[in-house]
Amino acid sequence: MRSSKSSSRNGSWRSALTDDPSLDRLNYLLNEIASKEAAPASGSACGAVVAAAAALVEKSARLSNKHWEGAAAALERAHALRVEGFGLIEEDAQAYIAFVDAVRAQQEVETAHARTVDVPLRMTRAAAEVAELAVQLAQHGNPNLRADAVVAATLAAAAAESGLTLIAVNVGDATGDARLAAARQLARKATGLAASLRPPGS
């Protein structure tokens, strides 16, 4: 009987997975990233990973109210970070296209270039905060959701490192750029947080 109920639930989930119109947006994004067009590309993928990691933190926090008094605040902040990460998917693509247009027109190139650094910096900052929330949930939240929190931290760390890579590329020879230094520190923090959750020997 239990397996029958499980099969029914799985069938409903699969139906929702294929019928939900919002999933067309995900498929559209993936197709666009995979296309020959210049944008969206790695920056948009990074934003999507930030949003996914934040969503996992939301799930863990939502089911941790009985385990940790900070769960409600973590849920609220994780939701805000998910919304921010999702918005940065489009914003990064727009920043790149605007920069290409500015170079071609030779107008406001510096402003457009600055945006190609500032957007991934915001991704990196959001990713580091998601990693921090994930560690808190892994340590204090519902133990049944610990794996979700650990994966959230791992994804967030990967997004932070990815943001750092993009910033380093876009900064170019300006290795003393304060934004690059800030991104490096944030990525290091996120990576360290994720590593702190790994089982010994992993």
Helices 109-140 and 71-105: crossing angle in degrees, nearest 10, is: 160
From residue 70, alpha-carbon distances to 18, 61, 115, 137, 145 in Å are 35, 9, 35, 9, 15
Q: 85 and 48 in contact (C-beta within 8 Å)?
A: yes
3-state secondary structure of 38: coil
Predicted local distance difference test score (pLDDT) of residue 201: 66
For residue 15, pLDDT beyond 80: no
What was the pLDDT predicted at 75? 98
Give me the residue label for tokens 């969503």: 55
The fold of 50-195 is: Four Helix Bundle (Hemerythrin (Met), subunit A) (1.20.120)
- Residue-wise pLDDT tens digits, 163-184: 999 999 999 877 789 999 999 9
The pTM of this model reads: 0.88
Residue pair 25/51 in contact by the 8 Å Cβ criterion: no
Query: What is the distance between the alpha carbons of residues 71 and 39, in angstroms, rounded to a whole number?
Result: 37
